Structures are given as C-alpha cells and as structure tokens.
Chain A
C-alpha cells in the first residue's frame, strides 16, 4: 500500500494502535537495544520464543531502550484490560517464570520495577489513555512516579521502549509521519523553516547552532542540496543517538524528510559510526519499510517530491563527527576537516549545499511540527529551548538515558534522577560534553542546564554525555585520559592540535608518573590557550578544555602530584600505596583470597597486612573490602 494522505495513516494507526496498547492475548516486550542485548536480553528473548511459539496467545516482541540501563534486561508485559507491568533484571532463566506469573495474575514485587499508568507519547494528547479503566495492582510502585522517570519529558525519545523499532506500523500508530505529510501537502517550505526557527531548536550534537537558521541558509544556496544526518556519535559516554536509532529509527527518517521538504533536496545520507551495527540494521529495515509505504522514494504521496536515503558507515575516526571531516568521509576519503571560510551549507558534500544535523535534532523535528513551535519553546530557558537527552554514566547509581527540559539543575540530574554516587562515596565532579567538554565541581551543581551557562563554567553541552566522578577518580588522570584520546584521534594536519596534544600528554604523563616539575601547570595553560586560538577545527580548539577546567577547579590535585608526589585518589600508581588499617580490619580474609599476587598475609579474624614489595596496586583488595580497611596512602 502506498500512503497518499493523513487519512491513510489514521487507518493504519487504528489497526495497529489496538495491537500496540491493548492486545487480545499477552504481549511481551523485551528491551532489545545494544545495551539490553549485552545484559542478556537476546538470550531471554530467544528463550521466551522457544517457550511460546506463535499461536499460544503470548506474543514475544522486541522494543528499544526505555532508558533505565541499570535495570536491564527490562521486559514489559501487557494485555487488554490488564495492568501494564515492567519487570527488571529479566535474564533467560527468569523470563518464562515472569510470563507465567503475569498470566496467573500473580505479581512478585521483587521481579517488578513498576506498573505503567500512561503509555501515550507527547504527540498523543487527544488519544484516550488506554490504561484509564485498568485497575492498578496494589502495592506495586507506579513507574511514572519513579524519581528516575518523573522529571523526564520524552520528546526525542518519545517512542524508545514503547514501539517495535522494526515496525513502521507501530511508529505510525503513535502519530508517525503525520507531521511530514502535513508539511509536504499543506505547508510552504518557508513556513516549515519559520516553525523550526520559532521553536528555538538548537543542534543537539555539540555545536548548538540554531537549526532553523541553518536550514534557511542552506535553502538559499542553489545546487544539488544534501540532507545529512550525523550519527557518528563519537563522544565516549554518550549513547543517546544509538538509542534513538535502535529504538525509533523512523523518527529520524521523518525529521530528515521534513528538512528535505523545507530546504528542497532529494538526497539524504546517514553517516553511522562503525561501532553501531544494530543501528545500521534497524535503519536499513526502516528505510525499506518507508519505501514500501511510499513515504520514501520517487513522487512521495503522489507529489513531485522525491527523497532517497543512503546509509554510510564510518570506520573508527572520532574526528569524523566534525562536519567537514564527515562529508569527506562520505565521499570515501580520509576524514580530515577543512577550514570553514565557506560553510558547508553553501559548499559541503560533493561541493554542494549540505545541511547536517545530528540524530537527536532530527528526532525532535516531527514533534515540533505536530505540537507547534510555542509548545517546544515553552520548555527550557531563554536561550536553550525544549528538552535534551543526557547519558548519565560513570560513578552513578541509576546509569541510563534521561530526557529532561533544559534549565533543570545539574544537581537534580545527578542526585534526584541519577540517585547520586553509589557505595557511599563522595561526589567529586561531573564531566559534560565528551573529550571537548569540561569537569564541573560540586559547587556549580545548582547551575541550570543551558548552552550558555555550561560554557560560562568552561564546560559545554556537547552531545549530552555526563560522566559522574567520585573520590576515587583522579582529575589529573582524567585530563591525561582525554588528552591521550584526542592525541590518538587528531587528524594531524594542523600544528597546534597535533603538537599541542603531544606536548600536553607528555607533561600530564610525567605528572602522573611522579616526575612533574614546578611550572608544569603554567606550561599546560600556555599550550592549552595556544591550541584554543590557533587550531584548525573544533577538535583542536576544544581539546584543552578538560585540562584547563581540571586545573581551574582541581589545582590542588595537580599540586599534590607535583609537589608532594601523592595521588590523593589512588589512581596514579607511582604516587600511592595501599595499606590495611589494623583498627578497621576484621580479618575476614576476603582480600587475602582475592589478591592475585599473594601479597596479603594475616591470620583469620586478625588484622592483615600488605607486602609492598609484592603488591602491584591492582586495587582488587580496595574494591572487595567491605569495612573500608584498605586505605590509600
């Protein structure tokens, strides 16, 4: 069937909406994004399929990532007129039992994370809540009340974890492709651009450039315009784009289609990083389905508008996240950036006008078009509108993806949503914006999340990675880590970046090795400021950020390394040793058993000690001790 109008979409929506929200039998949704699969979701899914082959009234389905990564594998079970229940840690040995207990109407509190009370997306205001008449289960927490979830507003991730990413019908059932057909059939290109401009949407990939202005500029330049999606999510610790591509690929395709109508283009490209094979697979399926329904291809919905999308994969180069490098890579060349005297909206891919946005930016577009610019602009701060997805990782209790309105404080994200630092350790810093970002200390935690505010403290919004660090994280080592990363990833064509990173790494390495000298801190600052001023592309100009912010906020740690030859966090091996506190040691022998060097001795129930000659500082004893008796000196 080729879709011609919004009416056609509504027909599909009615048919599949029932299957999606109120299935006759039992529907089991297994969270099957990469992280869920790594945690055991594939094995659980296979096991369930084996136990319930088709026709027994139990449908085993897949869905994307609902965001609560810490609790994976997550499985959701629903049925017409019955509660909708989310089970956590459902591994292959548990899934059959979980399904059977749901069928029997028995709800084991331990297995359940919560019951969902409203599965509708932000686009479904007018739709009746399918769970409105369902009586909730007593004593089972409501999923929407979970502090991890309650402050979130899912716009870009509206469908992740709610639909089968391999089903275009389920995407349509949640008002998918309506915004595109409206734009194509009822709007002038300039009107579309005005809506995006008025919404205040800014690029979610790092730069934060206003999307509407970019579209308008690209539309002004004549030629074979290209619509490009940057899915080269290279920042370590950020994985929201992977999650959107794996959980809701059609939202990105629809965003690109709307951009294509607005800008006037028939060629789309998605550049996906090589490390995301599942995202590529789901995108290819999504593209094939959209073509079958006539939503991609020639003469879409009987109009003279045609649009084709090609998937290209990267091959492991961080710098290809930079727009000009990405476009060179799309052309099959090495990904070296060029100076942007001429912007890519004028001359980019194949020297033609090119509009590049990232995955999350495109995923926001259909929602803005459907709900209007003022709805989107109603969320956030003066200069930062809408919501932003953050990946909350590192030393944090509730690791996961969270989508929150701009303007929320870092403290709310880290402590209310994230649950704070685990194991009663002390929070030290949160690193935002990937290798080009900065480390923000405790005293700035009340800062609202906003492009400007983060820049003022030396960090950036970036792509939204938030890496939480605790007392056991050495800030000098973190700076060294990022510089080492960037040195490997620098394309090497401009001097400031290539040589600057090499020199900074040498200095940081000697500080971490205990050979730091007086004046090294000032030298780092000088090299850093030179790189900021003279590097060719964004990689080089932002590369010193982690070093400069750690110096700014954690200078005492640098000084401890250089002057006292101590690493207070116990990371830099030459600068500390482990000791067992005889007062705290209970003689439980845990460390004794785990030490790979047999460096620990002592009698049962008496204080143990470490032979410093044998100790390789692997830290296993420090990790396993339940009494905090192993200390860093």
Chain B
C-alpha cells in the first residue's frame, strides 16, 4: 500500500495532530519517534496523510520520516486489527516452548507474524522479551498479559476477544 493510498482511506483530525506535535512535543525534530508513537496510539497505525502533514509541519522530509517509520519495529504503515496479539519470543519464552504457542495461533487464525486477519479481528506480532520471563511463555493481547500458556490453552484465550 502506498502512502498516497492510505491517505484517502483515513479521516485525520488535524487539530488533534497539531496538538500532539506542538503542545506535547514542542514541534521538536528530536521528538520524531515519540510523535510517531502518539499518532500510532491514536490511529492504531501510521496513516500516510498524517505523515505528510507531520513532514511539512515539523520540517523533516517525508523520506526521512518513512525511513524512521520502517526502521523501528513498533511502527505499522498499514491498519492493524482490533486486537493486537504480541507473542513474546524472548529467549526464556523460547526455551519454554513459545514457538509451539505461536504455531497454534498461526494455525487457528491463519495469519503469520505481522499479518492481520481478514475480519480485522487480530494482528499477530512477535516481540522480543517483555521482561516477564518468570511467566514464560507469555502472550499479551492488547493490555492483558497471559503467562505460562500451554499450546492447548490458546483457543480459549482468543475466544474472549471480539
């Protein structure tokens, strides 16, 4: 999806965007990463139109904003699902069988790492350690953390999210 295409599909609240850029982050180029995070919190991804606006407003070329947005793994240039599944693939979770939990999610939802289900219900993202190693394997769905998950418990957990 090109940046221009995304721009047409998302209605951007420019006064809110202005508030983020100016009031929260002082129109400061050094705060670019945090501004992008704020935009993503609001829209669940980085809409192209918002990035275009940000570029002019803050004085950073769109190419450089795009470079930052694609370098860091938390940013998504495409709309994500209503529920974000973050599966921890840190070492502690890995040796405790996180890969098998991930396989189970992939089989159930037919989405691979980084993909969104067709009904926009779930996006699957792998993360590298959320620091809850004692609870491994750990899956985080939105803000809820599930620890010590066995592969056969996955279905029941996913069912709770619409």
Determine the chain A residues whose CB is within 8 A of the CB of B84 once the complex forms: none
Q: How large is the interface on A (under 10, 10 to 19, 20 to 34, 35 or more residues)?
A: 35 or more
Q: Which of A51-59, A209-217, A314-322 interfaces with chain B?
A: A314-322
Judging by beta carbons under 8 Å apart, are A35 and B91 in contact? no
Those of B105-162 within 8 Å (CB) of chain A: 127-136, 138, 145, 147, 150-152
Chain B residues lying within 8 Å of A35, measured Cβ to Cβ, are 131-135
Is A334 a contact of B68 with CB atoms below 8 Å? Answer: yes
Contacts of A238 in B (CB 8 A): 129
> How far, in Å, is B36 (CB) from chain A's closest CB?
7
**Using Cβ atoms and an 8 Å threshold, which residues of chain A touch B32?**
332-333
Q: How far is the CB of B143 from chain A (nearest CB, A)?
A: 9
Q: Does any Cβ of B come within 8 Å of A39's Cβ?
A: yes
- Bound together, the chains give a CA A468 to CA B145 distance in angstroms of 23
Q: B80 — which chain A residues lie within 8 A by C-beta? A: none
Q: A329-B33, A332-B68, A478-B95 are in contact. Are A620 and B90 (CB under 8 A)?
A: no
- Known A-B contacts A467-B92, A620-B152; the reply to A239 vs B74 at CB < 8 A is no
In the complex, what residues of A have CB within 8 A of residue B53's CB?
none
**B10 at interface (Cβ–Cβ under 8 A)?**
no
Chain B residues whose CB sits within 8 angstroms of the CB of A235 once the complex forms: 129
Residues of A within 8 A of B73 (CB): 315-317
Query: How many residues does chain B have at the interface if contact means C-beta atoms less than 8 Å apart?
Result: 46
Chain A proximity mask over B52-92: 1 for CB below 8 Å, otherwise 0: 00000000100010011001111100000000000001111
Q: Which residue of A lies closest to B128 (CB)?
A: A236
When chains A and B are docked, how far (Å) is the Cα of A465 from the Cα of B30?
32
Chain B hits for A34, CB < 8 A = 130-132
A189 at the interface (CB under 8 A from B): no
A44 interface contact, C-beta 8 A: no
Please give me the residue from chain B that is nearest to A485 by CB atom. Answer: B128
B residues in contact with A276, CB < 8 Å: 131
Q: What CA separation (Å) do A331 and B28 show in the bound complex? A: 10
Interface contact B91-A465, CB-CB below 8 Å: yes
Decide if A618 touches B151 in the complex (CB within 8 Å): yes
Structural contact, B95 and A334, CB atoms closer than 8 A = no
Which residues of A lie under 8 Å from residue B131 when comparing CB positions? Answer: 34-35, 233, 239, 242-243, 275-276
Tell me the smallest distance from the CB of A21 to a CB of chain B, in Å: 28
A473 proximity list for chain B (CB < 8 A): 95
Cβ-neighbour of B72 out of A315, A431, A594 (below 8 A): A315
Min CB distance A464 to B, Å, is 12
Q: A38-B145, A236-B90, A275-B127 are in contact. Are A393 and B72 (CB under 8 A)?
A: no
A237 at the interface (CB under 8 A from B): yes
Which residue of B has the minimal Cβ distance to A68?
B134
Query: A204 CA to B90 CA in the complex, in Å?
Result: 20
- A59→B151 CA distance, assembly (Å): 40
Known: A393-B92, A618-B151. A69 touches B30 (CB 8 A): no
The interface residues of chain B lying within 8 Å CB-to-CB of A31 are none
Q: Considering the complex, give the chain B residue whose CB is closest to the CB of A335.
A: B71
Q: Which residues of A contact B152 (CB under 8 A)?
A: 594, 596, 620
Contact check: which of A314, A315, A391 meets B133 at CB < 8 Å? A391
**Residues of A bordering B, CB below 8 Å:** 34-35, 37-39, 69-70, 72, 233-239, 242-243, 274-276, 312-318, 329-335, 391, 393-395, 399-400, 431, 434-435, 465, 467, 469, 473, 478, 481-482, 485, 489, 491, 594, 596, 618-620, 623
Given contacts A274-B37, A394-B133, 19 further A-B contacts (CB under 8 A): A233-B131, A236-B128, A237-B90, A239-B131, A313-B33, A313-B37, A315-B37, A315-B75, A316-B72, A318-B128, A332-B28, A393-B91, A393-B92, A393-B134, A394-B92, A467-B95, A596-B152, A619-B151, A623-B150
| Cβ contacts A to B, 19 pairs, < 8 Å | A38-B135, A38-B145, A72-B134, A233-B131, A234-B128, A234-B129, A236-B89, A237-B129, A243-B131, A315-B37, A315-B75, A316-B127, A332-B60, A332-B68, A334-B68, A335-B72, A393-B134, A435-B91, A618-B151
Q: Which residues of B pack against A, CB within 8 Å?
A: 28-34, 36-37, 60, 64, 67-68, 71-75, 89-97, 100, 103-104, 127-136, 138, 145, 147, 150-152
